[in-house]
Structures are given as structure tokens and as C-alpha cells.
Amino acid sequence: MEKTLDLKYTFTEKKDTRSGFGDGLLEAGRKNPNVVGLCADLIGSLKMGAFQKEFPERFFQVGIAEANMIGLAAGLAIGDKIPFTGTFANFSTGRVYDQIRQSVAYSDKNVKICASHAGLTLGEDGATHQILEDVGMMRMLPHMTVINPCDYNQTKAATLALVDHVGPAYLRFGRPVWPIFTPADQKFEIGKAWKMIEGKDVTIFATGHLVWEAVVAEAMLREEGIYAEVINIHTIKPFDEAAVLASIAKTGCAVSAEEHQINGGLGDSIAQSLARNSPAPLEYIGVLDSFGESGTPTQLLEKYGLNAENIVKAAKKAISRK
């Protein structure tokens, strides 16, 4: 189906976003001697091996002890280092929420919490590892920046941007190979939404892997004469409210799309902004208050309603509610 569509963005290669992190971290290490890495026994999964090899004195294997890792990172930040911690998203957030809250967020430490295998697209490992609440937990924390890039290139750019950003940050990425449809030389501006496709009938606000699904959905809608605006919300906090409101002022309705619970994620950020400023119909694409399960990423996105087809349906519903 995708091949017949007139897509506004295309790709020639697929890669996992976690590799964007790993390659970004290596480059960051070369650019800034204060960058240090920590990993809780998942160096291969987080793609931190190249950094470890090139900078062994600036890399710390923590073992399976995530709480300790967060504390260590806070301490390294006190000593003027720029620590990037690496483990799965579940163990980066839910397992260590209080450590992040007290030692990183409340203490305003320059720690970059880097989380792979987020969301359903982790796949076969199932619900124990498919965290769908992490964005909500992290965006509730004062001081915390929350970033969820959409492909390899954007993840790499986001990783590099975090080196110059001072303050606690959560960087969320994933495991599956995914289309690389954003440019390699993009400038990543933390907190600034990226309008990828101009439209007039409905706005699709998407984050992470679902930005690609939104791009596909836009082409599908266009075939039916519906012109959707696609905005890539790579930074969920700080939230680019001005960009959201400007788009809604034009289109009058919206769809949010995220690989996360509908509670507490991007959709709720948009809803809060609309409710406080200019109410408009909003349809959520996200997981409906349930846990995930084992399956391939494609199967899971389909079963839980997180793919382009479902974004199309949600867009039409949002338009009908105008």
C-alpha cells in the first residue's frame, strides 16, 4: 500500500533509533570531553559499545543496578560531567522514579536519561518491558525535559543537542528498524515543534515512531481530498504550545499519535493546551489504558490501533466533530 502512496517524505534505508543514540553518543564524546556514559548491563542493546571502546575512562559499567546508576549520574553531574545513562525505558523510569525525582529533577542535575526499547515496538519481550507510561511519569516532573525522536537521524541529532542543553532530560527511543525519513544534517531544536507537512483540514501531532505513521496517514488522507497538517512533536516537554495553537487555529481539529498510554502522554499535553486556550476536537491515538503483549512491532501497532490506518480514521472523526 505504502508504495502506491504519494508520500511527502520517503526513505531509502531503515535503522533502529537506538543506533541513532549510540552513534550520537560517540560523536558527542568526541566533541566534548565532559560527556560520560553509564550503562546497566545493556551495552549491546543501547548501542553504547563504540563509546565504551573509544572512551573507557569515561564509561561506567554499573551492572544490573539502575537505582545506583541514577545516583552515580547525579554525582558525576555535580563534578561537572555530562552523564548519559543507558538502559531500557522501563528500567530508566518506573524502576527508578524516586531516584530521578530526588537526585536528578528536584536537585536539577544535568543528567541525560537515555531509554531504549520504549513502547509496544519492543515487540516479542512483551508487556513487562513495553513501558507505555514513561512519558507521563517524566513530564510530570518539574525541571525535566522529555524528548521522543522519530527516526535514526533525529535521535542522533537529539542526542547531540542534549550535550549543550543544561538540565535533566529524558530521551526516549526504541528497538525496531524504522524508516529514516528525516535529514541527516537536521538541526535539532529542543522544545520546538517541527511542521513537517502543511495542511488545512486537521492537524496530526505525532511523536516517536508514530511520526512515520502520520506521514503515511497524510498521504492516505490526501488521496481522499483531505489535507492534514503533520507536526512532529519530538519534544513533549517543554511543550511547544504556540505551535500547537497556531496549527489548531488554522485546521480546527487534531489527532495526537504516540506509542504510549493515552493517559499522561502527548495527547494529554495537547488536550490541556486546547482546554486552556481554544477548545477543539481532539482524537487520541495511543494505548487505551491496557498493558501490551508479545508480538511483532507491526502486529502490535495494528492490534492496539497505533498505525496509519487508525490515524486516518481518527482524523476523519476529528473533522466530523468540528
With binding defined as CB under 8 A, does residue 179 bind another protein?
no
**Dihedral of the alpha carbons of 179, 286, 300, 159, in degrees to the nearest 10:** 40
Of residues 15, 18, 47, 109, which one binds another protein by CB under 8 A? Answer: 109
Of residues 76, 89, 137, 287, which one binds another protein by CB under 8 A? Answer: 76
**Binding mask 25-44 vs another protein (x if CB under 8 A, - otherwise)?**
-----------x--------
Min CB(82)–another protein separation in Å? 11
Of residues 53, 106, 250, 278, which one binds another protein by CB under 8 A? Answer: 106
Residues 306 and 309: their CA atoms lie apart, in Å, by: 8
Of residues 12, 57, 185, 225, which one binds another protein by CB under 8 A? Answer: 57
DSSP string, 52-97: HHH-GGGEEE--S-HHHHHHHHHHHHHTT-EEEEEEEHHHHTGGGH
Name which of 73 and 230 has its Cβ closer to another protein: 73
With binding defined as CB under 8 A, does residue 67 bind another protein?
yes
With binding defined as CB under 8 A, does residue 140 bind another protein?
no
Rounded (5°) CA angle 248-250-255? 40
Min CB(278)–another protein separation in Å? 34
Min CB(166)–another protein separation in Å? 12
Name which of 7 and 169 has its Cβ closer to another protein: 169
Min CB(75)–another protein separation in Å? 2
Name which of 68 and 299 has its Cβ closer to another protein: 68
With binding defined as CB under 8 A, does residue 73 bind another protein?
yes
Say how far residue 16 (Cα) sits from the centre of its chain. 13
Number of residues interacting with another protein: please give it, by CB under 8 A.
32
Buried b (16+ CB within 10 A) or exposed e, 145-174: bbbbbbbbbbbbbbbbbbbebebbbbbbbb
Say how far residue 84 (Cα) sits from the centre of its chain. 16
With binding defined as CB under 8 A, does residue 103 bind another protein?
yes
Q: Is 241 left (phi over 0), alpha (psi -120 to 50) or beta?
A: alpha
User: Contact region for another protein (CB under 8 A) — 78-86, 218-226, 289-297, 300-308?
Assistant: 78-86
With binding defined as CB under 8 A, does residue 80 bind another protein?
yes
51 phi and psi, to 5 degrees?
-65, -45
Q: Which residue reads 492516505 in cell numbers?
A: 220
Residues that bind another protein (CB under 8 A): 36, 57-58, 60, 62-63, 65, 67-81, 83, 98-99, 101-103, 106-109
